[in-house]
Structures are given as C-alpha cells and as structure tokens.
Structure 1
Amino acid sequence: MSDSASAGSDSKGVSRRGFIAGTGSLLGLAALTGRAPAAHAQAASATASIATGAHVPALVIGTGYGGSVAALRLAQAGVDVHMIEMGMAWDTPGADGKIFCNTLSPDHRSYWLRTRTKAPLNYFLGYPIDKDISRYTGVLDAEEFSGITVYQGRGVGGGSLVNGGMAVTPKRENFAAILPSVNPDEMYDVYYPRANAGLGVGTVDPAWFDSTACYQYARVGRKHAQRSGFPFVFVPDVYDWDYMKQEAAGTVTKSALDGEILYGNNHGKKSLQKTYIAQAKATGKVTVSALHKVTSVAPTAGGGYTVVIEQIDTSGATTATKTVTADKVFFAAGSVGTSKLLVKLKATGVLPDLNDEIGKGWGDNGNVMCGRANHLWDPTGKLQSTIPCGGIDNWAAGGAFAEVAPLPTGIETYASFYLSITNNPHRAQFSWNAATGTVDLNWQTSWKQPAIDMAKTIFDKINAKEGTIYRTDLFGVYKIWGDHLTYHPLGGAVLNKATDNYGRLAGYPGLYVIDGSLIPGNTTVNPFVTITALAERNIEKIIATDL
C-alpha cells in the first residue's frame, strides 16, 4: 500500500519508540498475537442443501440484508424461496464451545480461505500482528483488488455477522444525493421505520453510557469532539443493550465486553440470523443452502432461469455442481458479489442484454481510519465495548462523519480510534478480465486522498485543540491513515441505471438486484439500514406488480 497520504500530511505523528516509552506497554503485543486453543473444524450447515434438478419459484443469491428482506417478504406473500449462501451457517459451536472466535485470538474460523489473517488494523506499537491460520471458510473475507481490500461477511447473515451493528438512518437532507430517483417521503415515512423495526434497532441508555467503564473511550471521544466545536451524536445499533448491561454486571457470558466483533459476536448482537432470517424460516417457506456458490444464471427456453451452483467444503474445494431452475432470481450477494457475477455473465455472453451500466458506480462509502495518541492523563480504558454507539458529525461543513470506534486490546492504550465515512467523490468500475477469467476493479489507493482530507477537517482540529498527535503505529510503520480498505462496499448495479427504479435488471424479466450494489457508492453514514429500507421498498413493489 502507498504511504503517500501520510507523507504528504503536515500533521505530527507519534513514533512507535516514543509510544512504547510513554506507556511501557509491550503487553499489548503479546495480547494481540496470543494464539487461541486449537479448535476442531466447525460442522457444516444443518440447513437444507438444494438438489440438482430442483425447481424453485424464487431463488435468492445471498443472505445479507437485501436477500433476507426479499426472502421474508416473498414468503409472507406465499412464495416458496430458496436462499443460496456461499459461506457457512454458523450455527454449530467449535471445540471451545463458541461459534465465533475472539478478535484477539483469531483461528481458522476468522478468515475466508486464507492462511494468514489480514486484520483491518494490522499493526500495534509499530509491529505486525497478523498470524498464520488454517485455511477454512471463515466468517470474514478480506478480498483484495488492485487498490483496495474489501471486507465482507461470509455466512448466513452476510455482513451482519461481522459489522459493528451501527444502524444509522441518513439525515433526510442528505438523501437526495444518495438515491436521487427514490421518493424520500416514502423512505422516511414507511421504509426506514420498517427496516429499523425489522432489524431490532435501539440506542444506548445515555445515563448508563455516562457511568459504565466500557464506554470510557467513547466519553473521551465525545469530550474531545465537543471541545473542538463538533457535535457528538449517539448512534443506534442492533446490539441487545440489556444484554450488554448484564455483561457489565457479570451476570451473563461476555460478548461485546470480551472483544467479540471482527470475527462474529456470540451473544448480544442481533444479526440477521436472529431477525429477518429467523422470521423467514419461521414461515416454513424459506430454505437455505449454505456453502453453495452460484456461478451462472441463464434464461431458459419457455421462461425462467437455469442456475448453476457449486457446492463447496470448508477447504473451499468444489464437491458438487448442481443445476436448478427458478422462475425469479434475486441477486443479493452484496455489492462485490453481485457486481462480479453480473459483469461476468454479461461479458461471457450468458446475459448479453444487460446494459452498459453493469459494473459501474462502485464506491467505498468514503471509508478511512485513523488513531490519535491522547495524553497519559486522558485514558480511554482497558475494558472497551466492541459496539460503537457514538459519532462526530461534520458532514455539512467538512464532508465527514466519524464513528468513535473501540480499540479492544485488553490494555490501556491512551488512544482514540475512528472509522470515518466521507463524501469521497471517486467511483470505480468492475470489468471482466478474459485473460485471467476474473473480474477486476479499477480502484486506486490514491483516490482515498479526498477521504483523508475530509477526515482531517475533524481530527486536525481536535489535535490542535487537545495538543495531541496522530498514531502512526496502527497501519504500518510511521503511517497515519488506514486508506487501504473499505467495510462498506456500495454500487456496481446502480438503481435506475443498471436496473429500473425498483431493481429489475434491464433486458431480463424475473431478474432482480436487491442489495447494496444498487446504491451508488455512498450513504453518508453506515449503509445497512439504507440497504434494508431500499430492499423493503423494492420488494413491496415487485410483489405487488410482478407476482
């Protein structure tokens, strides 16, 4: 990755030697690289496996936010639905009694088909902390393109398994820039409320927030923001806040207070498995095939579509190839998965009538990360909840919204950490590479510079006010900005361009896109509530008019 962003900054950074001398805390390195006990390979999904030759009225590719909404609403309308999920079901504990592994002790369950971890924050005190692991169909995919690493959830529940659960509805005044062809009245009156209800969204109790040890880091973030004149806002989340209070009281098994976030959360988080997917399965009309991957969707003579599906094992090897037919197919494999599949099918002549907007309009939601080194008299706490609950809003003035993120090392770090969402204008395109038989993305790391500049409108000011400096030991050696990744991929099959205004794919009746690939690159905040609300809007129209 390029260090040009940090090299061009006039902001001061803290050296790893200076930080070690200031804190005397090399224990962090040991904590972050400690190995977990060996665990047996998790059992494969207990959910149904689709049979070759099957016919399904509706096939949903993916089990993330859009796909889960589509499956539930179709089932409630009386339609039989089969969901295809490339990842595992994540419903069977490993040898340690846990389904997911801890962030500080990643094992084979952590990453999708990698032999070495690739943590978003992959240095500490200037030392690399990634470690070797066994190749396995783990829960977090760090998919590498030429200029960016895209983090995605793998398993039944998609991104809801691995995100921080920040369930943010964009400000209404920003909505026209997010989805210009969608009526904001219906979104804010009907579909955002429906999505928030379906997801189980709630907000931290402010009185508890002010008193609990696990949010000391967020209170420090609030204090610094407000002293520099920035509004600090509480951000809704899908965590069970009553459960977290019990964690703090020591009456239940700890989850958010035990560092669980990056590789799944075993208890308190209301992932899609517990909300939309649970409701969908309860209808009796929805089945899920985990460890299955769609490779082709082709029109069938006489109507409907022939879908080719590869079944894989936990090493990633293909164990069976199946062919099924479906009356309607919903692409919900996420921004990257849906875009890659559609680009491939168009370029190889399987779906040649898809229009030229396929693959375009992809963005990173302006993601960029950074840390600040606070004074020794301003500790952020060794116990940190992994669930963010607040942010700094400078969108109108500086084009940045920064979530005050945890740094759950288990030791005192005297550091504030942030994930910023910025109004970065750059958009990339997926394209088919016939020579390699893969889909490429033309993002360039240098395109992160606008995001860095927008984030600096917040953090340069806070540093100047507080007399603090940027951390340079979290993303490499003497590197300030985490400009190499996104957690929020969006676009690639943009609404009202690649599709009509409800996600119908141009040229192919019965093919729909219903995930984050519909949204052109930015939502101004964490995107999953908008993805869910848009899916609620679109599927309601599709059921009313197409079924």
Structure 2
Amino acid sequence: MLTRRRFLVAATGLVTGTAGVTAACQSAPSDRPPSRPFHRAIVVGSGYGGGVSALRLGQAGVDTLILERGRLWDTPDEDGKRFSKMLPADTRAGWFKEVPPSLVPSFMGISVNAVAEQNPSPQPVQAGICDKVTYGAHDVFRGIAVGGGSMVNAAIAAVPTPEQVHAAFPDIDPAEFLGTYVERAKTALRISYRDMNWFEQTPYFQYARVGRKYAAAAGYGVDYNGSAYSFDYMMREAAGEVPLSALDWEQQYGNNHGRFGSVDQTYVAEALQTGHVTLRPLTEVTGIRQEPSGEYVVSTREIDRWGTEVARDEIGCEQLYLAAGVLGTAQLLLRARETGDLPNLHDELGNGYGNNGDIMVSHMLSAQDPAGTQQSLLGMINLDGRADPDNPVYASMFSMPLPVETHALGYYAMVRTGDRAVIGYDRQSDSISIDWPQSHTDHLVERAKLVFDRVTQANGVDYRDDLFEGKAFAPNTVHPLGGCVRGQATDLFGRVHGHQNLYVNDASLIPGYIGCNPFMTITALAERNIEAILAGRR
C-alpha cells in the first residue's frame, strides 16, 4: 500500500547520508537564530554506540556534543561511595524510584522490595542508575547514566560465533567483523580474562565450577567469557589488598571499584580528551526536527540530580546520531514521525524488536554440590550450547551471594525463537509501547525448559521458584534489540532512510536476536558503522 509516508520516502530518493565528514558543511546555516547553539554533530546517548560515535567523531576533528539523560557518576557522596549495593539498596539504585528494580526479586519467601522498604534510604528519590519498564508479558531493565548499560550489566564480554554474526548480519564477513571490529572493541573496553589457576581454586567461583559440572552432565560446554570488570582487581579483592566491589554486593546498580571497562571510563573519557567533544549529562532530548536548511534542531530538558527542572533549550547540528538505546531511540524517531517533525521516516521504523531470547531460570543444587558462601557478582561463566542447530542456548550462571549456603544456581539464559514485536508510539501519552504478548514469553519458557530439563534431570535436582516470586522462569531482559533494523529502516551503516545526516548507531540496528550477551556485538557494529560514515562508504 502506497501510504503518504512511503510516497514521500520514494519521492526523496531515500536520501541516506553524507559522503563523509569532508563533504559536510563547515559552519552553521546563515539563516538560523543566532541565539541557538550549534554543533557540527550531536550524539544522543552515551552507551556503547554513543560512546563509539563520539570518540571517532572527536578523533576526526568534528565538533561534537553528547547529550545524556542520566548522571555522570564521577563524584562520591558523603558515605564515600558513588553507587549503591544491591542489598540493601538505596535511592541511587533506581531512576526516581524509592524501591529499586531487581532482576532477582525474592529469596526463600523474602521479598527484596520488602527489605528495601524496611531499610529506607537516607536520600530522597533521585536520578538513580537503573530503570525497569514493563511492556506486555516481559520486563525491560536498562541503565540510565553516562555510560548507559555498561554501568549496570554483568560486564560479560561475550563474543558471538561466526554463525551468529552471519545470521544477524548476512552482508558482513564474520572473519572481518570478529577479527577487526570485535578486537577493536576489546581493546577500547579494556576487556580482561581470568587467571584459570586462580579461578579453579577461589571460593568466589565455587558456584561456577558446580555449574560447569552440571552443564557437562547434560552435555553442554561452558564459555569463559572476558569481562569489562578487571579480573586483576578481583584477585586483589579476594586477597584483601583493595576495597571490595564485585565481591561485596555491587553490580546491578554500579561498581565503586574495578569496572574499568565501562563506557564512561573508556570511550566517553577518551572522546572528551580529544578537545572536540563536550558532554551534557542529566539532559533529556524531548524532540528532534529538521529545518528546511537541513539543520537538525534538538529540544532538551535539563534537570538536577533530584529531578528539578533546570533549563530547556534548543540546540542545532548538522549531523545527528541517535544512540539512546532501543527504547530511547525508538521514542525519539517515532515521536518525530508521528508529529511530522521528521515526516519522511520509513514505515519499517518500530519493527523487528526482540529481547535477544532472554529468560531467567533457577534450580536447586544437591547437598553434595554447595554453591558456597562467597560469590563473585561479576566474571561469571556461561553454559554454552550455541552449536545446537535446533535449540541454541547461552546462559550466564549466577548464585545468591549470601553468607549462608543457598544451594541455588541461577541463569540468565538466551534462547532462540522467531518472535518479534512492534514498537508503537501513543501521541496522547507521549510514550512508546511494545506489543509483547504472553505467547512470546511462553515460547521462551518452552525453549529454555528443553535445556534446563536436561540439566536438572542429568543432575537429579529440581527447579526452584523462590528467586522469581513463585516462578521458575522470569521474563526479564536487559538486552532489548531492534526497532530500527539496519537494511530496513536504515542503510547497512545506520544512515536513516528519508533524512540526510541522520544516523542510528546502537542496539536498535540489530534484528532482535544475537544469541549471547550483546554489548561486544553492539560496540563492534558501532565501530564499523562510524568508520564507514566518516569514510563515506556505502
């Protein structure tokens, strides 16, 4: 059907970007308001894609502004810490929430929310670091901060297999993607690898060694992933030489020490050092539009840490890079399309959303296989069944780091289904929605159950439902993907169809599923995209 939007896109010839920095304008349009600030480029978001984009633009000498909705977590509070522990958590944990969002909401009948309520934070609600949003039959968790999800994830630097790269990106040579761009991401993010002698004897990974044994009994291997958390620092923690972090209930709400590979300390810090990049944290982008001159105008709302509005502004730019994560990028583009501020955006926008096959699960451990009373919350290992052509799986193992034996093993599993959803926009409420039906979650549970039935039966243990409030499987995702899929809503390097000099460079480009923890893939793809854009490749 030839809609008005499709006609406009066709009539403009699907204009998709500049031929590179050297062909771009060198100054602001002459007919613009002189009071409106102007930058050659604006990057919205400072996670993996935004950090990559800002650094490479800065290195190319492009005057670039990073706009980030969340805080720059660079200053300790009166307690000497920047971040909150996971339990008990304070209001630094949640984005304007008294009770923080938790991936594991209960244990043995005890509610994590109840613990938080019984230990009120000395601080009021604030621009905390983690948010949870429910869309249909699944929950999405995301980091809101300078550094994005790199601040709150488990730092698992999983590398996709060549088969996974080919399935997600059929046009990209897996050898080049893995050998050039993933390696570039490893270096930039300071990915470290464990000392296996230490791993085999430390009490902090006893649960992982038990999980490896259980996986082997079911016919699965494991992947010893790299980490954006320093294994060297972790070994010094265990030796009592440095302050504790990964070994002291710090992970989902940030790490006060040891997470040296987060984007704020790598890509963003290096971008600022170029002298061509500036950063405005606690600045939400509320709208984007394009003037007849071609200039993009970005509307912003700045708040302080406690949510008080400080200023509203309009900022102009020649090149606009959207890297606000799947939810943020989709909302900005869909709002602009539906309000007419960017009328030529493609009808594919919003399609292809997936949750990377995420589903959480837990089972018992036998009395002969204790998890231990000390656990590392970072540097986990993964049950690796990606070679299974019918039901591939990648599942990060974790345990509850309590000072008592729990006999619990949990997994953050990624399984494959063909289910995808559409991200929609409601103009009246100015919000997005994701049509994620219960059947999609049921399919995830079915796939995961095939895997973990093998694990539990091979080891003579049962599922346990006390970690997820009465359910053995929990539909939580920290890996939303898609909504602005490359080759559909954009060209193959993230140039958005219909508007020149408009780019997407984040997880929105990935078609719903990669099959392992995706931040290395997101970073590598962003590196490839910005390299091509700066060089004018098509």
TM-score normalised over the length of structure 1: 0.88
In structure 2, what is the Cα distance between the partners aligned to 1:120 and 1:52?
46
Q: Is 1:482 paired with 2:465?
A: no
Aligned residue among 230, 236, 245 for 2:235: 245
Deviation at 1:295, TM superposition (A): 1.2
**Paired residues of 2:229 and 2:379 also in contact (CA < 8 A):** no
Q: Which moved more, 1:313-322 or 1:359-368?
A: 313-322
Aligned residue among 317, 320, 338 for 2:329: 338
Q: Give CA-to-partner distance per residue, 1:275-316, whole Å, 9 cap, x none.
A: 111211111111110000111111123222111111122233
Match of 2:284 in 1: 293
In structure 1, what is the Cα distance between the partners aligned to 2:402 and 2:342?
48
Look up the equivalent residue of 1:450 and give its one-letter code.
H
Q: Is 1:57 paired with 2:50?
A: no
Q: What does 1:313-462 align with in structure 2 at a 5 Å threshold?
A: 313-397=304-388, 398-462=391-455
Match of 1:34 in 2: none
**Paired residues of 2:137 and 2:441 also in contact (CA < 8 A):** no
In structure 1, what is the Cα distance between the partners aligned to 2:494 and 2:208?
39
Aligned residue among 114, 119, 123 for 2:97: 114
Q: Give CA-to-partner distance per residue, 1:238-297, whole Å, 9 cap, x none.
A: 111111110000010011011110100111112112211121111111111000011111
Q: Is 1:175 paired with 2:165?
A: yes
Deviation at 1:93, TM superposition (A): 0.7
Match of 2:23 in 1: none
**Paired residues of 1:366 and 1:448 also in contact (CA < 8 A):** no
Aligned residue among 205, 208, 229 for 2:198: 208
Look up the equivalent residue of 1:417 and give its one-letter code.
G
The ranges of structure 1 where at least 4 consecutive aligned residues each deviate by more than 6 angstroms after the TM superposition are none
Distance 1:521 1:199, change over 3 A: same
**Paired residues of 1:123 and 1:473 also in contact (CA < 8 A):** yes
Deviation at 1:500, TM superposition (A): 0.6
Look up the equivalent residue of 2:341 and give its one-letter code.
V
Match of 1:264 in 2: 254
Aligned residue among 175, 188, 207 for 1:198: 188
Look up the equivalent residue of 1:154 and give its one-letter code.
I
Match of 1:38 in 2: none
TM-score normalised over the length of structure 2: 0.89
Q: Give CA-to-partner distance per residue, 1:338-374, whole Å, 9 cap, x none.
A: 0111111111111110000111111111111111111
**Paired residues of 2:147 and 2:263 also in contact (CA < 8 A):** yes
Deviation at 1:95, TM superposition (A): 1.7
SS of the residue 1:328 aligns to: strand
In structure 2, what is the Cα distance between the partners aligned to 1:92 and 1:335?
28
In structure 2, what is the Cα distance between the partners aligned to 1:343 and 1:324?
20
**Paired residues of 2:231 and 2:379 also in contact (CA < 8 A):** no
In structure 1, what is the Cα distance between the partners aligned to 2:272 and 2:467?
42
Q: Which moved more, 1:445-454 or 1:491-500?
A: 445-454
SS of the residue 1:404 aligns to: strand
**Paired residues of 2:107 and 2:466 also in contact (CA < 8 A):** yes
**Paired residues of 2:226 and 2:379 also in contact (CA < 8 A):** no
**Paired residues of 2:371 and 2:399 also in contact (CA < 8 A):** no
Percent of aligned pairs with the same amino acid:
39
SS of the residue 1:82 aligns to: strand
Q: Which runs of 5+ in 1 are unaligned?
A: 1-50
In structure 2, what is the Cα distance between the partners aligned to 1:158 and 1:489?
13
Q: Is 1:506 paired with 2:497?
A: yes
Deviation at 1:546, TM superposition (A): 8.2
Q: Is 1:76 paired with 2:59?
A: yes
**Paired residues of 1:199 and 1:275 also in contact (CA < 8 A):** yes
Distance 1:333 1:410, change over 3 A: farther
SS of the residue 2:317 aligns to: strand
**Paired residues of 1:85 and 1:155 also in contact (CA < 8 A):** yes
In structure 1, what is the Cα distance between the partners aligned to 2:517 and 2:275?
32
In structure 1, what is the Cα distance between the partners aligned to 2:526 and 2:255?
25
Look up the equivalent residue of 2:416 and give its one-letter code.
N
Q: Give CA-to-partner distance per residue, 1:504-542, whole Å, 9 cap, x none.
A: 011111110000000011111100000000000000011
SS of the residue 2:287 aligns to: strand
Distance 1:282 1:420, change over 3 A: same
In structure 2, what is the Cα distance between the partners aligned to 1:315 and 1:279?
28
Look up the equivalent residue of 1:82 and give its one-letter code.
L
Look up the equivalent residue of 1:410 and give its one-letter code.
P
Match of 1:472 in 2: 465
Deviation at 1:52, TM superposition (A): 7.1
Q: Which moved more, 1:371-380 or 1:446-455?
A: 446-455
Q: Which moved more, 1:198-207 or 1:522-531?
A: 198-207
Look up the equivalent residue of 1:261 and give its one-letter code.
Q
SS of the residue 1:274 aligns to: coil
